[in-house]
A and B are shown apart, each in its own frame.
Chain A
Amino acid sequence: MAEITMRLPVARKAVAPSAPRGGEKHLVAPGDTITTDTGYMRGHGTYVDEEKLIASVAGAVERVNKLVCVKALKTRYNGEVGDIVVGRITEVQQKRWKVETNSRLDSVLLLSSVNLPGGELRRRSAEDELAMRDYLQEGDLISAEVQSVFSDGAVSLHTRSLKYGKLGQGVLVQVSPSLVKRQKTHFHDLPCGASVILGNNGFIWIYPTPEQKDEEAGGFTTNLEPVPLSDREVISRLRNCIVALVTQKLMLFDTSILYCYEASLPHQIKDILKPEVMEEIVLETRQKLLDLEG
């Protein structure tokens, strides 16, 4: 039976800020004066004008000893060495692939930075160059790590580990990079029955947990078998929970996603995206997270 709901738009009301922990955040908009003290070194997101330090982006001020910088709330991904990213191949060029990672420039994945099948270590030959498209085509999704950052800001990726490589069946959610919390590991096997890769560039990949770890888990062969319905329900629910957390601007990390999942269990999967249900679930998640800290 078709279910169609329409509603009148409701003006967004300011959410009451949660109890400040560890001091209030100093939020600035472009053009706001951060400080008039000249003793500070200026970092990213600031500039000096008439002896005043002024913000050039909208975000929170971060102060480390004498260095003042502004971390923008909504920005493109700025690569840093060691970050895990999920990207989509946009071009296949001569000895490299161009990967879209939601940054200002397309990222680069060199042929020499991927693992050859069988794990051989040898020089890449002309045959390897011609076979590039057999491995990664335009539109494919990969998980990779940032190897280095070029001077113009472009990022160079590598998949030189068995846990990186081409991604198979699953769901991609695109969020702002500033909402993904930096953690020790970004690959999570959630107890609810699905796995999640939280890319630092804001691309979140949700996929069914593979039963056994194959040796070729570098992802040369994609599993094209249909995913069972129970796994699909978990994945759809997780996807809606992540969208709910992002709409309410909560940081994304494995605990917050898990709490949100548990809070959403009494509702139907498609109801999670309704505004009132979203608010209720995220409020509960926020409460649980505060209890965890306190």
Chain B
Amino acid sequence: MASVVLSEAEKLYIVHGVQEDLRVDGRGCEDYRCAEVETDVVSNTSGSARVKLGHTDILVGVKAEMGTPKLEKPDEGYLEFFVDCSANATPEFEGRGGEELGTEIANTLYRVFSSESSVDLKSLCINPREHCWVVYVDVLLLECGGNLFDAISIAVKAALFNTRIPKVRVLEDEEGSKEIELSDDPYDCIRLNVVDVPCIVTLSKIGYRHVVDATLQEEACSLASLLISVTSKGALTSMKKVGKGSLDPESIFEMMEMGKRVGKALHIALQKILDEEESLGTSRQKVGFLG
């Protein structure tokens, strides 16, 4: 992960500030930085989203392709995640430097979406045991400004909301061989239901308190963090502890409660902005990358 070097006095200042619920940029312990969300930024994907959370910039592209279902789940489609840490984000990611972080994030995403209720995989099935939709979710890190997991999960949810998978019909010949017919109308597509898609909330322990949405400087002062994935109804789907420090079981419980609270508010805010963007329709001015 990209990190900054801080002097001992600076770290002390940050820790004392968190203690008094006043962080360096004036936020409280439970406040997020101002986030910018835009969907449908990449034209040749089934769905895409770009999220800017302070200095963290994430781009997610979703492509739906036809494939064969997994042997153990013959009547479901599945999701595949790939995370690319581009060297744009920080020089440490040059060459193969970003691979380790990329696989860590991808594995976390697999774990978050492993719950059966997150995405309705049965709707992705076309022909049991033969054809199904495989949804490839590709995440690109453009800039690293702290709190990667949260921003990535917000972007993935927005991209899945934006995904449009074409409707297909299965035609059967007299011999019994099946043919798949794609609908002629490009607007005839199915949308994924993202109501139960979880979002990751990272709680970093700084001193004796914990904060949400840590910047790079705050991450340098925190020894341990808890990543929890929360659905919009407040249910936890997965939990992971990162960092070399230790966490007290009581503080883990407190962090879980805070995470659920913050997670619910995050979902409400995100759904509101996605609905607002949808209501603008085709008249929306796309900002993209050159705004």
Instruction: Assess the A171–B13 pair: CB atoms within 8 A.
Output: yes
Q: State A68–B24 Cα separation when bound (angstroms).
A: 43
Query: What 0/1 pattern do residues 1 to 36 of A give for CB contact below 8 A with B?
Result: 111111111111000000000000000000000000
A2 near B265: Cβ-Cβ < 8 Å? yes
A154-174: CB near B (< 8 Å → 1, else 0) gives 000000000000011111100
Query: Which of A50-58, A69-77, A235-243 contacts the other chain?
Result: A235-243
> Does residue A268 face the partner (Cβ distance < 8 Å to B)?
yes
- B171 in the interface, Cβ–Cβ < 8 Å? no
Which residues of A are found within 8 Å of B16, using beta-carbon distances? 226-227
Instruction: Contacts A232-B20, A239-B25 given; indicate if A8 touches B36 (C-beta within 8 A).
Output: yes
Task: Give per-residue flags for B1-24: 1 if the beta carbon is below 8 A from chain A beta carbons, else 0.
Answer: 000011111101100110110111
Select which of A88, A168, A269 is within 8 A of B9 by beta carbon.
A168
Q: Chain B at the A interface: mostly helix, strand, loop or mixed?
A: mixed
Asked if residues B10 and A141 are in contact (CB atoms below 8 Å), the reply is yes
Asked if B291 and A169 make an inter-chain contact with CB atoms under 8 angstroms apart, the answer reads: no
Complex CA gap A272/B33 in Å reads: 12
Is there an interface contact between B5 and A171, defined as CB atoms closer than 8 Å?
no
Say whether, besides A169-B13, A227-B16, A4 and B22 are in contact (CB < 8 Å).
Answer: no
CA distance A167 to B8 in the complex (A): 10
Q: What is the CA–CA distance of A222 and B28 in the complex, to the nearest angstrom? A: 27
* Cβ–Cβ contact B26 & A4, under 8 A: no
User: Contact at B12–A224, with CB atoms within 8 Å?
Assistant: yes
Query: Does A129 interact with chain B (Cβ within 8 Å)?
Result: no
In the assembly, what is the distance between CA of A226 and CA of B12, in Å? Answer: 8
Q: Assuming A138-B5, A232-B20, is B38 touching A9 (CB within 8 A)?
A: yes
Is the CB–CB distance between B27 and A139 below 8 Å?
no
Q: Report the nearest B residue to A3, measured CB to CB.
A: B31
Set B6, B36, B287: member contacting A6, Cβ < 8 A:
B36
Q: Is the CB of B273 within 8 A of A6?
A: yes
Specify which of B27, B262, B270, B276 is in contact with A8 (CB 8 Å cutoff): B276
B272 contacts the other chain (CB 8 A): yes
B22 touches A236 (CB 8 A): yes
- A236, B26: Cβ atoms closer than 8 Å: yes
> Is there an interface contact between A233 and B35, defined as CB atoms closer than 8 Å?
no
Taking A2-B262, A273-B33 as given, write out 10 further A-B residue pairs in contact, using a Cβ cutoff of 8 Å, ordered by the A residue number.
A2-B30, A4-B35, A88-B7, A139-B7, A169-B13, A226-B16, A233-B22, A236-B25, A268-B26, A275-B34
Can you list 19 A-B contacts with CB-CB less than 8 angstroms, sorted by A residue number?
A: A2-B30, A3-B28, A4-B32, A5-B35, A7-B34, A7-B37, A9-B37, A11-B291, A169-B9, A222-B9, A226-B16, A232-B20, A232-B22, A233-B22, A233-B26, A270-B28, A270-B31, A273-B25, A273-B34
Q: Ordered nearest first, which 9 A-B pairs have the shortest CB separation?
A: A269-B26, A2-B30, A270-B26, A169-B13, A11-B291, A236-B26, A9-B287, A139-B5, A6-B273
Show the binding face of B for A, using Cβ within 8 Å.
5-10, 12-13, 16-17, 19-20, 22-28, 30-38, 52, 212, 261-262, 265-266, 269-270, 272-273, 276-277, 285, 287, 291
